[in-house]
Structure 1
Amino acid sequence: MTYLVFLCGHAGTGKTTIAKRLIGPLMRATGGAFCLLDKDTLYGHYSAAAMQALTGDANDRDSPLFLQHLRDPEYRGLIDTARENLELGISAVVIGPLSREIRDRRLFDRQWLGVADDVVIRIVWVLTSEETAHARIVARANPNDAYKLSHWDEYRQRRFVPSGVAREGLIMFDNTAPSTADFDALLREIVQTPSRPATMMPPGPA
């Protein structure tokens, strides 16, 4: 059995940190190999070079031009790379915002993903407050965040928490201040619980 685990959510929610914390326990819990596929690691340098050539600003990674022409091919390549690993029997943890794909329910569409029926799909939506996310983005001082920070009022309009139909089947994880018990519960949700309507993992202590 192989797993395709998506860690989705807006910038500054801590998706990559969670993935790195979970991947070892996931391998021990399932007895199988996992690869970690982070969109920024796979495509960050390429996108920076492309935007430098197109706009003269390598960090212009949230502009309309990027969103209209480069975003979707990046995600397609990310998912294709995950699929190739799954076909080799290697489970995948995939990291990326993937907000459009959550809204459109594409991550639940095996045909769109190109994965077999025996692949276990888990989709985790990582959330935290806008204030916490903004503070984390500022603290990490990543040049790729320059456009977000300088156009925060514009960017914040894209921040949403899935609700209604878009929330069905998601594992919601509050990463504001999670405890060890919260991470253990998330691991159990990914590995043991069949797909079902979304649940909210309990937040950690304030």
Structure 2
Amino acid sequence: MPYLIFFCGHAGTGKTTLAKHMLHPLMAATGEPFCLLDKDTLYGQYSSAVMGVLTGDANDRDSPLYLQHLRDPEYRGLLATARENLALGVSVAVVGPLSREVRAHQLADRTWLGVGDDVHVHIVWVHVAEAQARQRIAQRANPNDAWKLAHWDDYRTRLFQPTAVDYPELFLFDNTEALGTNVQELLRRLTASEAST
């Protein structure tokens, strides 16, 4: 049975680094082939070209124009690509914030995802303290983050931290100690048969 594993979380939490670190251990533990689908890799250059034409700012990922017109199509394409791989028997690790979808519990809805009971679905919510996330964002110096850093008080209103009580479908992964001992526990939980949804 293939796996569909989401690595979600806000900017600066280290979800991409974690997903890449987990890929080989996941393949070894499950015996399944995996592919990595990172939203920024798949759509970053396309969105830069579009936003450059529409707003003159190729790095815009936070304006109402982007959020209203490009965000959701990017995610629909991301999930469609995941489904194509799953149909071929290839497990998928999906990386993207997906905060709206997590809030709405959509990633736990197989009908919404368009996957059957033959797929192990897991959702990892990667988080760190807000101050640490902001520091990591500043250190990586990605032009796409310029608006966030310049308007942090506005950006932070989008941030939320789900709780285990309200979001039992999530594996809450504290990434404060980057790739620490909790990685082994995460691997165990992702590959344990009783953990599958």
Could you say which TM-score interval applies, normalised by the shorter chain? over 0.9
Relative contact order (C-alpha < 8 Å, sep 6+): which is higher? 2
Hey, which bits of structure 1, 4+ residues long, moved more than 6 A? none
Gaps of 5+ in 2: none
Contact (CA 8 Å) 1:169, 1:196: kept in 2 or not?
Answer: no
In structure 1, the partner of 2:39 is 39
Alignment of 1:127-146 (within 5 A): 127-146=127-146
- SS state of the match for residue 5, structure 2? strand
Q: Which residue is equivalent to 1:183?
A: 183
Tell me the equivalent position of 2:156. Answer: 156
Q: Is the 8 A contact 1:104 1:166 kept in 2?
A: no
CA distance in 2: counterparts of 1:62 and 1:83, whole angstroms = 27
Deviations 1:43-82 (A, max 9, x none): 0000001100110000111111111111000001001100
Q: Distance in 1 between matches of 2:61 and 2:166?
A: 26
Residue 192 of structure 2 corresponds to 192
Taking structure 1 as the reference length, what is the TM-score of the superposition?
Answer: 0.92
Structure 1 contact 105–166 (Cα < 8 Å) conserved: no
Measured after TM superposition, the shift of residue 163 of structure 1 is 3.0
Does the 8 Å CA contact 1:106/1:113 hold for their aligned counterparts?
yes
Is residue 2:101 matched to residue 1:104?
Answer: no
Report matched runs for 1:1-206 at 5 Å. 1-163=1-163, 166-178=166-178, 180-192=180-192, 194-195=194-195
Identity of aligned residues (%): 62
Instruction: Write the letter of the residue equivalent to 1:67.
Output: L
Q: Number of residue pairs matched?
A: 197
- Is there any run of 5+ residues in structure 1 with no aligned partner, and where? 198-206
